[in-house]
């Protein structure tokens, strides 16, 4: 009888492992296809940045930190602020849901973001992986989304710094036409007003946000990328 029980348990082990296969594991072999299918290169997003984002997201999912592992949001601060450098990607359904402007912090740079910080009062953007939380109504920012930084020393002060996703008129194409570049925030990733609510409602509640720049210190030190 004891041998029979052990045999049954042994047979069940592969089933249990299969049950734990994440949606990330199910799609990761398709990443190159997704990149090509969605023509992300044509939208300005390099394959290296996309694959970095997917890699870090996979680690977050393996750690059980994501509630929505189908969606990946990338803010690519290596690009000019005059470019539509925010991408919301539905990996499961292989769709680019949104591609729009996003502003960086005032002290991070002018047209291009160059400097980053995790410090309160720095007025700089922070790099790395975040998890989206729930929408809030800010007294000055209106409908906004809290984001939690997950990388110690790089963005884990985001909640303390009140770094949120919100909208502003300085994150619009009209502002670019008048000023030659987007306006800048106090460190928040800021969206055009006409895109803000739709994006927040889509990515809220535990999806992955990756804010990227080819900062050598961050790339070499991030546990999620190495």
Q: Is the pLDDT of residue 122 over 80?
A: yes
Q: Is residue 177 part of a domain?
A: yes
Q: What are phi and psi of 16, to 5 degrees?
A: -65, -40
Tokens read off for 138 = 């800010």
Identify the pLDDT of residue 28.
53
Average pLDDT over every residue of 176-188: 97
Examine the pLDDT at 17 and tell me if it is beyond 70. no
What 3-state DSSP class applies to 204?
coil
Percent of the chain with pLDDT over 70: 87
Is residue 58 over pLDDT 90? yes
Whole-number Å distance between alpha carbons of 198 and 84: 16
Q: Establish if 226 belongs to a structural domain.
A: no
Q: What pLDDT is stored for residue 96 in this prediction?
A: 98
Q: Is 187 exposed, middle or buried (0-12, 13-18, 19+ CB in 10 A)?
A: buried
When pLDDT is cut at 50, 70 and 90, the band that residue 25 belongs to is: low
- pLDDT value at residue 31: 81
CATH of residue 165's domain is 2.40.440.10
Residue 72 lies in a domain: yes
Check residues 18 and 132 and name the one with the higher pLDDT.
Answer: 132
Domain that holds residue 47: 28-221
Judge whether 189 lies within some domain: yes
For the stretch 40-45, contacts whose Cβ atoms lie closer than 8 Å and that sit 24 or more positions apart, written own/partner, are: 40/87, 40/89, 40/96, 43/84, 43/87, 43/96, 43/99, 44/76, 44/79, 44/83, 44/84, 44/85, 45/74, 45/76, 45/85, 45/87
Structurally, the chain folds into a number of domains equal to: 1
- Residue-wise over 3-35: b if at least 16 C-beta within 10 A, else e? eeeeeeeeeeeeeeeeeeeeebeebbeebeebb
* pLDDT tens-digit series, residues 155-179: 999 999 999 999 999 999 999 999 9
Is 111 inside a domain boundary? yes
Q: What is the mean pLDDT of residues 193-219?
A: 98
Calculate the average pLDDT of the chain.
90
| DSSP three-state, residue 12 | helix
In a domain, 50, yes or no: yes
Average pLDDT over residues 53-73: 97
pLDDT digits 0-9 by tens, 134-145:
999 988 999 999
- Residue 106: both structure tokens together: 């005032």
The residue that leads in pLDDT, 101 or 16, is 101
The answer to whether residue 21 is domain-embedded is: no
**What tokens does 192 get?**
């055009």
Give ∠ CA 150-190-81 in degrees, rounded to 5.
105
Q: What's the first-to-final CA gap in the chain, in angstroms?
A: 47
Q: What is the mean pLDDT of residues 92-112?
A: 97
72 or 25: which leads in pLDDT: 72
Residue 29 pLDDT = 52
In a domain, 146, yes or no: yes
- Which residue carries 């990756």 as its tokens? 210
User: For residues 6 and 9, what is the distance between their CA atoms, to the nearest angstrom?
Assistant: 5
pLDDT of residue 30: 76
What pLDDT was estimated at residue 191?
98
């Amino acid at each position: 009888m004891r041998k029979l029980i052990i045999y049954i348990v042994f047979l069940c082990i592969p089933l249990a492992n299969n049950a734990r296969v994440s949606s990330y594991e199910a799609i990761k072999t398709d990443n190159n296809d997704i990149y090509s299918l969605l023509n992300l290169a044509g939208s300005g997003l390099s394959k290296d940045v996309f694959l970095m984002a997917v890699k870090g997201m996979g680690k977050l999912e393996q750690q059980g930190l994501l509630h929505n592992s189908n969606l990946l949001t990338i803010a690519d601060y290596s690009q000019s602020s005059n470019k539509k450098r925010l991408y919301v990607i539905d990996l499961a359904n292989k769709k680019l849901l949104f591609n729009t402007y996003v502003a960086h912090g005032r002290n991070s740079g002018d047209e291009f973001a160059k400097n980053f910080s995790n410090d309160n009062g720095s007025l700089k953007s922070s790099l790395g992986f975040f998890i989206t939380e729930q929408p809030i109504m800010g007294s000055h920012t209106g409908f906004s989304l809290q984001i939690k930084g997950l990388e110690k020393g790089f963005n884990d002060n985001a909640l303390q710094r009140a770094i949120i996703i919100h909208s502003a008129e300085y994150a619009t194409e009209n502002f670019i036409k008048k000023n030659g570049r987007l306006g800048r925030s106090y460190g928040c990733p800021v969206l055009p007003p006409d895109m803000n609510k739709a994006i927040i409602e889509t990515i809220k509640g535990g999806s992955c946000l990756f804010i990227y720049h080819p900062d050598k210190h961050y790339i070499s030190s991030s546990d999620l990328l190495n």
